[in-house]
Amino acid sequence: MRRTKLGRSRAPAVKSLRTTLVIYLLIGTLLPLLIVGIVSYTSIYSILSGKIGSGISASLRQEALSLENAIDNLDFASKQFALDGQIVEEMNSFLQEKQIYRKSQIMNSINQKINLVNFTNPYIGLTAYIMPGSKDPVLFTNMSTRQSFDVSTLPSFMRYNGADYFGPHSTMYAVGDNVVFSEQRIVRVNGRNELYIYLETNYSLLRKIFNQEAYGMKVNHLLVNQSGTLTHKIDGEVPGKIVKAAGTSGGEGHEVLDGYHLFRYESPQGWKLVAVVKKSVFNSEIYTWFYKMILLALLTLLFAGVLAWLIWKKIYGPLRKVNVEIIRMAENVTAPVAFTNVEEFDFVLSNFQQMKDQVNELIQAVARNEKQKSQFEIEKLLSQINPHFLHNTLNTVQWLARLNGQKEIDKLVTLLVKVLHYNLGKQSIIVTIGEEIEAIRNYMELQRIRYDYEFEFNVQAEDNVLTAAVPRFLLQPLVENSIYHGLSDNGRVDVIIKAHGSTEVQLCVKDNGAGMTDAQIEELLSDDSAKKRGLGIGFAYVMRMLRTYYDGQMELQIKGGEGEGTTISIIIPRKSKEDFDD
C-alpha cells in the first residue's frame, strides 16, 4: 500500500473581531469627519481669508478716504487764504502800508479772517502766513509757532493742485508734538516778496484716521509719498524689506511677502497707503477654527473607542455561546442549542439548530442510500440493453430471412436496422439535410409497411440545400404527426425542402388528412404529444431544437383546419456543420 505524507498547512493570519470592530468604527467616524474637515477647511479658509482681507481692504480704504478728505480740506482752506481777493488785497495793503495804526487795523482784519476760517473748518490746525528768508518769517498765525520754523526741513509728501504738501511730521505749534500733515501755497502779492500760506491738519486728526480698533488686529501703516522715494512708518516697526516693497510702484492690491500680508491703496492724489499685517496675526482666526477641529477629532476618536469597547462587550458573550454550540455539535449532534436572549444571535442559533436537524436527516439518508446502492447497481445492469447485441440479433434475423427466401422480412429488418442505427448511433446531433432525408425515407417505409401501404410518401428536395446542416430528428416528429393526424383514404404525406432566399432554408411537411383544431395544435406543441407513439421523440423536441440552435432566427407556421389537411412550415438560416457548436 502506497502512502503519501502530507505536510501541515500554516494557518492564515487573522485579526480578532475586536480589532476589526475598532478599526471599522474609527474609519466610520473619522473618515466622514476627515472629509468634512478637509472640505470645511478649504471653504472656511477661503471664506475667512476673504473676509479678513476684505475687512482690512475696506478699513484701509476708509482711512485713505479720510486722509484724502483732510488733504482736500487743506487744499480748500489754502485757496481761501491765497486766492480770495479781499484777503489777498489786505495782505498787499499790509505789506505796503507804512503807518503803524493803519497796519495794525489791517492785521486785526486778517487775524479775524484766519480765525473765522479755522472756526468753520475743524480739520485745520495751525494756520500762518509766512515769508521765507525774512528775519521773522511768520507774519500772521492763529497759534504760536516754533522759533525754528523752517518749511524747507519738512519731508516732502506731494505736489497737488498747485500746492506743496509735507508730512507726516511733528507740528510747528510751539507747545505741541502731534504728527500732522501740512500744506504750503504761494500767495500772489505785489512786490518782490514771496508770501505763502501755511496750513496744518488738526493735531488729533491722524490719530483718529489710523485707528487700530477698526481692524480688530495689529496692523502697521506705511505711507508712500507721491514720488515713491520716501516711505513713512506711521505706527510700529516693519522690516526694511517690507518697507522697500511697499514703495514699489505698480504693486498688487494684496500680496504676501516674507510672512507679511501687504494691502495697498493708491490714491488719485498720487500717494499710497499700505497696511502691513503679520501672517500669524492674519491667520489667527483660521488657526482658532483649526484647533477646534483638532479638538473635535480627538473627542470623536475617544468616542469611537468607547463605543467600540461597549459594542464588543455586548457581543462577546453571545459569540462565546455560539462558539460553544459549534464545539458541542462535534460531540453531540442531536443536543438542542442554548439561546442567548439576543435577537440576532438567537436567529443565528435557530438556523444552526435547523442545520443540525438537516445534517441528522442527511446522515440517516446517506445510511439508507448506502444500503440500497448495491441493489440499484444490480437493477441498473439488468435494465440495460446492449445496442450492439440488438443490431447483431437483427442482422442474424436478416440473414436467416435471406437464406429462407423471406424477402419481405429481409426488407423489413434491413429498414429497421437503418432506422435504429440512425436513432441509437453515436453520430453528432448535427447532420446534413441529405442524411435526415435518408433516415426519414427509411422510417416512412417502415410506417407504410406497418399500415399496409395505405398512404403515399413523397420527398422533394433541391440539390443545393442537401449539404445544409440541421439538428438530428428535426423532420421525423413532423412526418410522424402527419401519419397520426393525416391518414385517410388515399392519404398522402409530402416533404418539401427548398431554398428560401439566399441565406435560409424552408422545411415543409404537408398532408391531405382530416386537419387539426387549435386544441390539437396546442397538444401537438406540448411535451407529451408523441411519447406514446413511434420512437417517442415528440413534436416539442422540434421546438426545443429550434429555440436552442436558432433562437429568434427561425419561423414556424402550422396551417390547416378540419377536413383541409395540415401544413407545417419551418424557415431556418442556412448553416454548415462548422457553424454549430455541437
Query: What's the N-to-C CA distance of the chain in angstroms?
Result: 43
- 30-64 pLDDT tens trace: 777 778 777 766 766 666 667 777 888 888 888 88
Distance, CA of 466 to CA of 459 (rounded, Å) = 12
User: What residues contact 512, with CB distance under 8 A and at least 6 apart?
Assistant: 486, 488, 490, 491, 492, 565
Q: What is the residue-wise DSSP string for 79-144? A: HHHHH-HHHHHHHHHHHH---HHHHHHHHHHHHHHHHHHHHH-TTEEEEEEE-TTSSS-EEEESS-
Instruction: Please give the full DSSP string across 212-269, using - where no structure is assigned.
Output: GGGTTS--EEEEE-TTSS-EEE-SS---HHHHHHHT-TT--SEEEETTEEEEEEE-TT
DSSP string, 480-542: HHHHHHH--TTEEEEEEEEEETTTEEEEEEEE-SS---HHHHHHHHSTTSSTTSTT---HHHH
What's the DSSP call for residue 145? B
pLDDT the model gives residue 14: 54
Residue 374's Cα: distance from chain center in Å?
A: 64
Could you tell me the three cell numbers for 73? 480740506
**Do the beta carbons of residue 558 and residue 510 sit within 8 Å?**
no
Q: In this structure, what DSSP letter does residue 197 have?
A: E
Q: Give 194's contacts (C-beta < 8 A, 6+ positions apart).
A: 131, 132, 133, 186
Give the span between the Cα atoms of 46 and 39, in whole angstroms: 11
Residue 405: predicted pLDDT = 72
Percent of the chain with pLDDT over 70: 82
Please, which residues bridge with residue 497 across strands?
461, 507
| Per-residue model confidence as pLDDT tens digits over 218-244 | 888 888 888 888 888 888 788 888 888
Which of helix, strand or coil describes residue 381?
A: helix
Query: Which helix (H) or strand (E) segment is 39 a member of?
Result: helix 17-83
Are 572 and 470 in contact by the 8 Å Cβ rule? The answer is yes
- Take residue 410 and report the three cell numbers written for it: 429481409
* Three cell numbers, residue 87: 484777503
pLDDT for res 415:
75
The confidence score (pLDDT) of residue 9 equals 46
Grid cell 460531540 in the structure block, residue: 331
> Residue 5: what pLDDT?
42
pLDDT in tens, 529-555: 544 444 445 677 788 888 888 877 888
Question: Tell me, what's the pLDDT at 498?
Answer: 93
Q: Are 523 and 476 in contact (CB under 8 A)?
A: no
Scanning the structure block, which residue is given the C-alpha cell 505524507? 5
As a residue count, the chain comes to: 582
476-530 per-position pLDDT tens digit:
888 887 877 666 667 888 999 999 988 999 999 988 887 777 777 777 666 555 4
Instruction: Specify the pairing of strand 179-187 against strand 195-201.
Output: antiparallel
Q: Would you state the pLDDT for residue 558?
A: 87
Q: According to DSSP H, which parts of 425-460 are helical?
A: 433-450
CB atoms closer than 10 angstroms to residue 230: 13
Reported as type and span, the H/E element at residue 187 is strand 179-187
Q: Which residues contact 438 (CB under 8 A, 6 or more apart)?
A: none
d(CA 138, CA 129): 6
E strand or H helix at 285, and its extent? Answer: helix 284-331
Give 186's strand partners.
196
Q: Note the pLDDT of residue 426.
A: 58
Sign of CA dihedral 204, 208, 210, 213: positive
Instruction: Kindly report the three-state secondary structure assignment for every residue of 456-496.
Output: EEEEEECHHHCCCEEECCCCHHHHHHHHHHHCCCCEEEEEE
Contact predicate 91/110, CB 8 Å:
yes
The residue type found at 189 is: V
Please work out, in degrees rounded to the nearest 5, the angle formed at the alpha carbon of residue 262 by the alpha carbons of 259 and 265.
Answer: 180
pLDDT at 534: 45
Residue 439, phi then psi, degrees to nearest 5: -65, -40
Which residues have CB under 8 Å from 558's CB, separation 6+? 516, 521, 524, 566, 567, 568
202, 142 contact by CB (below 8 A): no
What pLDDT does residue 330 have?
65
| pLDDT < 50 positions in the chain | 1-9, 11, 374, 378-379, 381-385, 530-536
pLDDT of residue 484: 74
What pLDDT, on the 0 to 100 scale, is given for residue 7? 41
